[in-house]
Amino acid sequence: MVNIPSRSKLGKYWNLRESTVFLNHGSFGACPKEILAYQRQLRDQLEADPINFLDVKAKELWAESIEIFSEFINADKNGLVFVPNATSGVNTILRSLDLRHSDEILVLDHAYQACWNAVDYVTKKSGAKTTVVTLPFPITSPEEIIESILNSVTKNTKLALIDTVTSPTGIRLPFEIIVKELQSRGVDVLLDAAHGPGIVPLNLNKLQAAYVTGNAHKWLCTPKGSAFLHIREDRRALIRPLSISHGASVDGNINEKIRLEFDWTGTQDPTPWLCIPKSIEFVGSLSDKGWEGIMNHNTNLAISARNTILEILQTPKLCPDSMIVGLSAVLLPNSNVPLTSALEADPFHTLLYEKYNIQVPVFAWPHHNRRYLRTASFLYNSLEEYQYLAEVLEKEI
């Protein structure tokens, strides 16, 4: 068996299997042992007295979590609610909107397919239209992205689904400018910040996007099933949760209704959301420069990872280094492997995993008719892991 490179010295804080080269923080994150232990404590408290925990204790911790998280992303806590994942956040907005025949929703040709599907679902149902913005590719500057998006706006454009960091291609979009430009043209933005908190600095009060959803379970490393949705004040009356529950029949002003309706959508385990403050604090303490230090570290590692891999692959850079954060995708050279559907594992992914113990996403992106390999970089990764991947690529491509 090949020699598996070691993780960084911070790897000891995670449960990741030692024999796996884990280069896919991007899909589901990875939760440190300390946070999992805290979650277990909370679950033990829940099961010791489910009624008291869910009716009293969880509510206190929930309010604290909303408070601390809203400070982390500088958001108005009255518009901040928890959802299980970014897919639910996107669906919540789309399925609350009253679309007309003439309305158009913009999506980028780098949008996460599940969210794009949700846009198609609502436009199809209402007779509205999905407009796909084809971004120039490879990207040479943030300006050309902004220009292609703005060129696709018509008088009917009602909403745009914009990513903070694109999923298939790992590109940090100039979302702050895109939001400002679109909204000044009367187009609401639904910001898909699935790769948001912990990978890019977020300042929702400054951004003023109509809607922002994102995950804590990716780059904040909380347990899975921990995400948020933020609704700007002037849009709060329009938006209802995906599950209509008890809160619907309780009176209150708009901010009370948001809490009543979104904070209880039926019985579920609230502990992933309750761990957010602990994750912000614990993971943040792993760099002496806090979260800013973590984001910078991951960005630098992602750029080095990309350079190391491209030296072997010799395919063009998909974007400038300045548009890389913790993710970096590379184009795979032509191969005889057929394009697979989103739900099937790419055979090359399987080969890397089974033969070399490398867990890294390899997938076809039919909208570009290309195949990408996307590495993620988090505190526990080491440069040697990408060098090992590059050596394997040299042998197998």
Which residues bind to ligand PLP, rule: CB under 6 A?
27, 85-87, 112, 114-115, 163, 167, 192, 194-195, 215, 227
Smaller CB separation from ligand PLP, 173 or 274: 173
Bridge partners of 371, per DSSP, are 364
Q: Residue 138: is the preceding peptide bond cis (ω within 30°)?
A: yes
Smaller CB separation from ligand PLP, 207 or 392: 207
The amino acid that residue 355 corresponds to is: K
Instruction: Output the DSSP codes for 217-285.
Output: TTTT-PPSS-EEEEE-GGGGGG---SS--GGGGS---HHHHHHHHHS-SSS---HHHHTHHHHHHHHHT
Minimum separation from the CB atom of position 310 to ligand PLP (A): 22
Minimum separation from the CB atom of position 215 to ligand PLP (A): 5
Minimum separation from the CB atom of position 90 to ligand PLP (A): 7
Minimum separation from the CB atom of position 27 to ligand PLP (A): 6
Smaller CB separation from ligand PLP, 119 or 187: 119
- Other beta carbons within 10 angstroms of residue 262's beta carbon come to 22
Which residue is it, tokens 């846009």?
119
Minimum separation from the CB atom of position 94 to ligand PLP (A): 13
Cα(191)–Cα(366) distance, integer angstroms: 23
Minimum separation from the CB atom of position 102 to ligand PLP (A): 27
Smaller CB separation from ligand PLP, 157 or 215: 215
First CA to last CA distance, the chain: 20
Cα(135)–Cα(110) distance, integer angstroms: 8
Smaller CB separation from ligand PLP, 234 or 344: 344
Smaller CB separation from ligand PLP, 216 or 309: 216
The values of phi and psi at residue 259, to 5°, are: -65, -45
Minimum separation from the CB atom of position 112 to ligand PLP (A): 3
- Other beta carbons within 10 angstroms of residue 244's beta carbon come to 12
Q: Do the Cβ atoms of 121 and 150 come closer than 8 Å?
A: no
Smaller CB separation from ligand PLP, 27 or 74: 27
H or E element, residue 327: strand 327-331
